[in-house]
Amino acid sequence: MSMDRVFKALADKSRRRLLDRLRAKNGQSLGELCEGLAMSRQAVTKHLRILEGANLVATRKEGRLKLHFINPVPINGIAERWIGKFERGPLDALADLKRKLEGTGK
């Protein structure tokens, strides 16, 4: 799975938004994912296809529905590539601090 595809998929705001929604609630159908979004069903379908192609979204059939799951494995691969062995702890602490000070998860 190429890293180029992961970066291309993540470069789009709407696709990051879809990943945020799956992180908040995993295993959603296309219909659920479209709710409350100012995007056509067609556009969401296209974005999901790109996310799936980058292995950032995994899908499963459940009955008649196709459910979408966030797959963070490629993002972990990116982290492993550039974050050193002993940096994870301090980086997590920094992220924690930023979250506390800014009161946000983003």
Residues near other proteins (CB under 8 A) are 1, 26-27, 55, 58, 60, 69, 71-73, 75-77, 80, 85-86, 88-90, 92-93, 96-97, 100
Instruction: Name the residue nearer to other proteins (CB basis): 42 or 103.
Output: 103
Q: How far is the CB of 36 from other proteins (least distance, A)?
A: 22
Q: How far is the CB of 80 from other proteins (least distance, A)?
A: 5
State CA 106 to chain mean position distance: 13
Separation between Cα atoms, residue 99 and residue 13, nearest integer Å: 21
Q: How far is the CB of 38 from other proteins (least distance, A)?
A: 27
Alpha helices in 25-63, H assignment, sequence order: 30-34, 41-53
Is the CB of residue 69 less than 8 Å from the CB of residue 33? no
Instruction: Name the residue nearer to other proteins (CB basis): 2 or 40.
Output: 2
- The number of beta carbons lying within 10 Å of the beta carbon of residue 22 is 23
